[in-house]
Copies of this chain bind each other. A is one copy, B any other.
Amino acid sequence: MADTMKCAVLHGVGDVRIEERPVPVPGSGEVLIKIMRVGVCGSDVHYFTHGRIGDFVITDPLVLGHECAGMIQATGPDTGRFQPGDRVAVEPGSTCRTCFYCKSGSYNLCGDVAFMGTPPVDGAFCEYVVWPEDFVFALPDAMTFEDGAMMEPLVCGLWAVHRGGVKTGDCVAVFGSGPIGLLALQAAKVAGAATLIAVDIDEFRLDFARKIGATHTVNDRDGNALEQVLEISRQVRPDFPECVGVDVAFETAGAIPTTRNTLAATRRGGVAVLVGLPPEPMVELDIVEAASKEIDIRGMFRYANRYPTGIALTLEGRVDVRSLVTHRFPLDAVRDALEFADTNKASSMKVMVEVG
């Protein structure tokens, strides 16, 4: 094993350079992971094209990438869960373990999180990463490294469904059929939803939705998705005509019209989950109608305690993460991968970087 490693470093908007950096050394409780696969996330693309996401601004060179899997290369002191050679998926946010949020099981809300590929923490578009072993999870033999890298978007979907409180038999609608939308849809199916309505304006994406389990797809090209969703909800609940709208609606498109549709599509007493976020912070919403329907509007921020779940469900064939990967690039071509993901949204789903 060499002392240095290749890294894809973002220096500014559109400026990714392959550089050599020293291989890091695992400290107490940490392991050194040889990175094998890293998925390209929308947030990676956003940093690449804008140099920032909200208050997170790239001022110093940064390694992006956080949807990763690899192999244990070495273990630091005070570790014990892994041996060199173990195949693993890596949860990319490491938290303080001692604050109010960490102690109470909501570590995703920890203020001291170090999250890969978010300034100033380097990510996984490189050959090696050091990470605390309690945020590293064994990958079963039957799962590929690519599957492992897909655990990150999958657990986003699982968390969305956890937030939504999806129950057995529910009727749900997912607005937006990108990777997160499709994984939320699958997570909703796993959680027992009987009716799964996927909404998008792109047939390429709705095809994926049909393939991974949507019972209904709605193309919003003509802007009448809301009416279609309400009509489906009526059809699937013939015994309760008074119950119009879905039990749980998910917004994953990050747009204002879909945010409004998400609230409007939710039945009285239902739940609307905001997974995507509109580009502008201030959004005009029909909050009076939403409140009068006594719905819950629930935000989400990352996830907590879902990696083992994601791995177990993938292992048992309960979700299909593999077919979402449409394009692959080598580590040297991270720049191309980011650019491709940015400019081919209508013909790609998940872009994967093959490192090892």
Given A168-B190, A299-B290; A240-B99 close (CB under 8 Å): yes
Among A100, A137, A274, A298, find the residue whose CB has the most chain B CB atoms closer than 10 A.
Answer: A100
A288 at the interface (CB under 8 A from B): yes
Q: How many copies does the complex hold?
A: 4
Flag the segment in A6-14, A107-115, A117-125, A328-336 that touches B.
A107-115
Inter-chain contact A192/B194, CB cutoff 8 Å = no
Interface residue? A294 (CB, 8 A): yes
Q: Are A282 and B281 in contact (CB under 8 A)?
A: no
Tell me whether A287 and B305 are in contact in the complex, defined as CB-CB below 8 angstroms, given that A103-B107, A294-B109 are known contacts.
no
Residues of chain B within 8 A of A195, CB atoms compared: 312, 316
Q: How large is the interface on A (under 10, 10 to 19, 20 to 34, 35 or more residues)?
A: 35 or more
Measured CB to CB, the nearest residue on chain B to A162 is B168
Q: Are B105 and A294 in contact (CB under 8 A)?
A: no
Indicate if the CB atoms of A282 and B283 lie closer than 8 Å. no
A277 at the interface (CB under 8 A from B): yes
Q: Are A287's CB and B312's CB within 8 A?
A: no
Pairwise interchain contact B308-A291, C-beta atoms closer than 8 A: no
**Residue in A97, A103, A161 whose Cβ sees the most chain B Cβ within 10 Å:** A103
Q: Return the chain B residue nearest A291 by Cβ.
A: B299
Q: Is A346 an interface residue (CB 8 A)?
A: no
| Cβ proximity bits A272-295 to B, threshold 8 Å, 1 near / 0 not | 001001101111111111111111
B300/A294 in contact, CB under 8 A: yes
Contact of A301 among B238, B293, B304 (CB under 8 A): B293
Question: A187 an interface residue at 8 Å Cβ cutoff?
Answer: yes
Task: Please tell me if the beta carbons of B296 and A288 are within 8 angstroms of each other in the complex.
Answer: no
- Is A104 an interface residue, CB under 8 A from the partner? yes
Q: How many whole Å from A64's CB to the nearest CB in chain B?
A: 20
Does B283 contact A293, Cβ atoms closer than 8 Å? no
Residues of B within 8 A of A298 (CB): 294-297
Q: List 7 A-B contacts (CB under 8 A).
A: A109-B269, A111-B242, A169-B312, A194-B315, A236-B312, A274-B287, A295-B298
